[in-house]
């Protein structure tokens, strides 16, 4: 068999494949459709529930069955994504208007996951049936083949409200994200009606009806002044705050309490645990010493986080610190992107309303066209039956004289050939009949009981109702003003049945400012143990408990207004405010240094710990494994940056020594036992971004291991390979030499 090899550029093939993949994710997975505000997995799940007959007034069904039907028929992308979508659509703390009614454990606002799908059950909400899935049988939307062309699924659901505003949307696609806040149903529909009345209405006028988002968790939108810009551009940041109330103690012995009753929407899930942890840490580190106890009393009735306060607490100060230091105040990044005509598009509020209204006009035109056709079919049958009642004797004679049903039907349509009549006049009358085929069949199917007087009256009444509906539908289809009025009336009914009061308060509040109290400068004792736990304690411990300080890796006095500097082997400098280190007693454990700095003990090793600014005129000595050495003024490192480069290193090099320059001579020791002693004055000064000068000439494969600063004549002994060496035996040389190897005895 001949093979055909297609030559193509590799980069072009990759580019096209990635483009196809990204567009598939964008349009078929991650982003909602502007028309119904649903992602494909949500739409398919709701349609599968509709097909299963899971009405709001029928028993719940196992979620495993719902997920199975959805995956097997419409969404072959794994059961976990389908079940997660079903869970989210059922959670009233995530959706303003939940679309499914849960039964069982569907998770909690504090981040607890839902039970497995084999345990939980669900059914459609009344809102979903009446507003999202109604009229599907009336050809209001297009249907397309499913993935294996064995079923049909709706391309879009005929949702009668702007769901993309009411329930919002969030999704991460390739190269773009969407994040649309939820809004109040009643207010959104008022905006729609105002837009119908005046398509030129301004965003500012719409915001007088709908002042901003309405989140399911309540809370406060604190930057109302930014709403107009956000809704005109489709992007921006919403500043959210939790609702905090003060509960004063009823008796003198009772303490006042700050109670958080509503949280920012962004705190849902692990954010609540994080808030409790952050608040506890603020209290322990004496940033909020006014808080004496923290408890989470939240339940099914709602959020209730209680902070117990000391007597005489400045409540506003505590609230400001909570807003500033925790997620009790947070931002919601708005990015109103949705799929329109197969493409991702950024929408403003007015453009969303325009697309929504265009969609409503389209589905209503299709709906009333279908209903008009049905009524016209009904009218045709009714007219035939009414005529038939007036000549029922002739029709009975035709039926009795016909050999087959087809012969009787043909006679009713004006062809009496083959029919035997009892009276000659009847044949002439039958020849004048002109019933349509539909009417003729309806007459033949007519039951004799329909000839009772009351039934005939009911038939006439039904005919009049049919004519009335036909006139109504024709008027709606021929007059856009009537069509829009019909849409408004439907929205009014939805408002009355499903509308509810706003949960989120929209206002303008200044950003929280943490008022820092004047700290009286004083000496404190910094302590760090061998496990990396740090704390500060009273300076008096320095003299009072000096013997116990030998257990600590680092212990020195510093100012409570200063900073602690950490130099690591990789040449990084990490700085910590002394005020950020917990003030504790000597016997208390402290906190891991990783928790209060950007230092990561699993990635790097600390070489030197000192107090920034305590020695402004002094210098630090740096020595590296490659044998380089330099002096750098302490003033080079006076910065508020928490992490930065402390020195420049070559490839494969690392720091082995950092300390204050305070001795007369330097002794360097290599790994292979070479020692070099020289005057400290020979060390050149360099900036923090310089590499330094050669301290010792190392042999190939050798590296610098230890550095000592010594005073001439100082009798210091070191241990090398289980041998004691007196440093005074090392004679004075010059910087940059090879050094000597001592005879070990």
Please say if the pLDDT value at position 2 is more than 80: no
**Residue 456 or residue 268, greater confidence:** 268
For residue 745, the model assigns a pLDDT of 47
Q: 326-360: per-residue pLDDT in tens?
A: 999 999 999 999 999 989 999 999 999 999 999 99
Q: 300-309: per-residue pLDDT in tens?
A: 888 999 999 9
Nearest CA to 636 among 627, 624, 625, 648? 648
User: In sequence order, which residues have a C-beta less than 8 Å from that of residue 451 and are 6 or more positions away?
Assistant: 389, 392
Q: Report how far Cα 316 is from the mean position of its chain's Cα atoms.
A: 30
Q: 81-131: per-residue pLDDT in tens?
A: 999 999 999 999 999 999 999 999 999 999 899 999 999 999 999 999 999
Q: How far are the Cα atoms of 35, 39, 238, 684 from residue 172, in angstroms, in the given order?
A: 19, 12, 19, 55
For residue 162, the model assigns a pLDDT of 97
For residue 378, the model assigns a pLDDT of 93
Q: How far are the Cα atoms of 200, 291, 500, 692 from residue 254, in angstroms, in the given order?
A: 58, 14, 37, 65
* Cβ atoms 456, 466 nearer than 8 A: no
Q: 567-607: per-residue pLDDT in tens?
A: 999 999 999 988 888 888 888 888 888 888 888 888 889 98
How far apart CA 73 and CA 148 sit, in angstroms, is: 8
Q: How many CA atoms lie within 13 A of 438 on its CB side?
A: 9
Please say if the pLDDT value at position 132 is more than 90: yes
Q: What is the mean pLDDT of residues 443-449?
A: 82
For residue 547, the model assigns a pLDDT of 73
How far apart CA 24 and CA 31 sit, in angstroms, is: 10
Question: Quick count: other Cβ atoms within 10 Å of Cβ 312?
Answer: 7
Please say if the pLDDT value at position 529 is more than 50: yes
User: In sequence order, which residues have a C-beta less than 8 Å from that of residue 264 and are 6 or more positions away?
Assistant: 215, 217, 219, 240, 241, 242, 271, 327, 328, 329, 330, 332
Q: 145-190: per-residue pLDDT in tens?
A: 999 999 999 999 999 999 999 999 998 877 788 999 999 999 999 9
Give alpha helix (H) positions in 531-614: 541-544
Nearest CA to 333 among 264, 239, 219, 212? 239
Please say if the pLDDT value at position 715 is more than 80: no
For residue 744, the model assigns a pLDDT of 52
Q: 13-25: per-residue pLDDT in tens?
A: 777 776 766 666 6
For residue 493, the model assigns a pLDDT of 96
pLDDT band at 415; cut points 50, 70, 90: confident
* Cβ atoms 560, 524 nearer than 8 A: yes
Q: Is 305 helix (H, G, I), strand (E, B) or coil?
A: strand
Q: 477-503: per-residue pLDDT in tens?
A: 999 999 999 999 999 999 999 999 999
Q: Looking at the chain, how many residues does it have?
A: 745
Question: Quick count: other Cβ atoms within 10 Å of Cβ 186?
Answer: 19
For residue 711, the model assigns a pLDDT of 81
Q: 220-244: per-residue pLDDT in tens?
A: 999 999 999 999 999 999 999 999 9
What pTM, to 2 d.p., does this model score?
Answer: 0.75
How far apart CA 581 and CA 561 sit, in angstroms, is: 11
Marked catalytic residue, from 56, 74, 119, 533? 119
Q: 629-644: per-residue pLDDT in tens?
A: 999 988 888 888 888 8
119 has catalytic annotation: yes
Please say if the pLDDT value at position 1 is more than 60: no
Q: Is 59 helix (H, G, I), strand (E, B) or coil?
A: coil
Structure-token match 């009787």, residue found = 408
For residue 9, the model assigns a pLDDT of 74
Q: What is the mean pLDDT of residues 49-63?
A: 96
What rounded mean pLDDT belongs to the chain?
89
For residue 496, the model assigns a pLDDT of 95
For residue 197, the model assigns a pLDDT of 95
Q: What is the 3-state secondary structure (H, E, C) of 319-368?
A: HHHHHHHCCCEEEEEEECEEEECCEEEECCHHHHHHHHHHHHHHHHHHHH
How far apart CA 543 and CA 546 sit, in angstroms, is: 5
Structure-token match 């306060």, residue found = 309
């Amino acid at each position: 068999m001949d093979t055909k090899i297609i030559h193509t550029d590799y980069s072009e093939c990759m580019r096209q494949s990635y483009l196809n993949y990204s567009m598939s994710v964008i349009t078929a997975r991650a982003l909602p459709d502007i028309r119904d505000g649903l992602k494909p997995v949500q739409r398919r799940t709701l349609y599968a529930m509709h097909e299963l007959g899971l009405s709001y007034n029928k028993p719940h069904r196992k979620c495993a069955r719902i997920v199975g039907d959805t995956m097997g028929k419409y969404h072959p992308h794994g059961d976990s994504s389908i079940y997660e979508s079903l869970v989210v659509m059922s959670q009233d703390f995530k959706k303003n208007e939940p679309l499914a009614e849960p039964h069982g454990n569907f998770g909690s606002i504090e981040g607890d996951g839902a039970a497995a799908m084999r345990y939980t059950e669900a059914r459609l909400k009344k809102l979903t049936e009446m507003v999202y899935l109604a009229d599907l049988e009336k050809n209001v939307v297009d249907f397309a083949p499913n993935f294996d062309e064995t079923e049909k699924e709706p391309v879009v659901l005929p949702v009668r409200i702007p769901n993309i505003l009411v329930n919002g949307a969030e999704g991460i696609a390739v190269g773009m994200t969407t994040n649309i806040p939820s809004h109040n149903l009643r207010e959104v529909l008022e905006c729609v009606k105002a837009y119908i009345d005046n398509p030129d209405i301004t965003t500012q006028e719409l915001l007088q009806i709908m002042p901003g988002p309405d989140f399911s968790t309540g809370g406060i939108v604190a930057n109302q002044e930014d709403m107009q810009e956000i809704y005109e551009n489709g992007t921006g940041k919403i500043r959210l705050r939790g609702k905090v109330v003060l509960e004063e103690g009823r008796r003198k012995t009772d303490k006042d309490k700050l109670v958080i009753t509503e949280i920012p929407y962004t705190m849902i899930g692990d954010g609540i645990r994080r808030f409790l942890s952050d608040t506890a840490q603020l209290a322990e580190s004496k940033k909020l010493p006014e808080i004496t106890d923290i408890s989470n009393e939240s339940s099914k009735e709602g959020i209730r986080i209680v902070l117990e306060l000391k007597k005489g607490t400045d409540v506003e100060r505590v609230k400001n610190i909570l807003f500033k230091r925790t997620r009790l105040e947070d931002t919601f990044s708005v990015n109103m992107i949705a799929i329109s005509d197969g493409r991702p598009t950024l929408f403003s509020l007015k453009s969303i309303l325009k697309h929504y209204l265009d969609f409503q006009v389209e589905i209503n035109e299709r709906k009333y066209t279908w209903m008009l056709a049905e009524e016209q079919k009904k009218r045709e049958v009714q007219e035939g039956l009414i005529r038939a009642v007036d000549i029922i004797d002739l029709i009975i004679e035709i039926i009795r004289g016909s050999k087959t049903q087809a012969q009787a039907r043909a006679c009713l349509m004006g062809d009496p050939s083959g029919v035997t009549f009892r009276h000659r006049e009847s044949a002439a009358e039958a020849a004048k009949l002109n019933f349509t085929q539909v009417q003729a069949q309806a007459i033949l199917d007519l039951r004799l009981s329909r000839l009772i007087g009351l039934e005939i009256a009911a038939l006439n009444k039904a005919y009049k109702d049919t004519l009335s509906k036909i006139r109504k539908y024709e008027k709606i289809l021929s007059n856009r003003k009537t069509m829009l009025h019909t849409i408004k009336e439907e929205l009014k009914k939805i408002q009355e049945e499903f509308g509810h009061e706003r949960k989120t308060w929209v206002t303008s509040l200044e950003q929280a400012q943490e008022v820092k109290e004047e700290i009286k400068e004083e000496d404190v004792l910094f302590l760090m143990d061998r496990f990396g736990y740090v704390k500060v304690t009273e300076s008096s411990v320095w003299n009072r408990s000096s013997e116990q300080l030998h257990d600590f890796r680092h212990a020195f006095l510093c100012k409570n207004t200063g900073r602690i500097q950490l130099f690591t082997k990789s040449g990084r400098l990490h700085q910590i405010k002394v005020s950020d280190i917990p003030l504790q007693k000597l016997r208390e454990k402290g906190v891991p240094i990783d928790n209060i700095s950007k230092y990561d003990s699993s990635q790097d090793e600390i070489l030197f710990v000192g107090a920034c600014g305590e020695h402004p005129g002094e210098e630090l000595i740096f020595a590296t494994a490659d044998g380089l050495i330099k002096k750098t003024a302490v003033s080079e490192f006076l910065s508020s940056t928490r992490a930065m480069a402390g020195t420049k290193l070559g490839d494969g090099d690392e720091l082995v020594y950092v300390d204050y320059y305070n001795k007369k001579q330097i002794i360097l020791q290599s790994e292979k036992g070479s020692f070099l002693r020289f005057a400290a004055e020979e060390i050149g000064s360099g900036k923090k971004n310089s590499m330094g000068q050669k301290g010792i000439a190392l042999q190939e494969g050798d590296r610098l291991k230890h550095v000592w600063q010594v005073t001439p004549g100082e009798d210091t002994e070191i241990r090398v390979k289980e041998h004691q060496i007196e440093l005074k035996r090392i004679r004075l040389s010059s910087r940059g030499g090879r050094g000597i190897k001592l005879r070990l005895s």
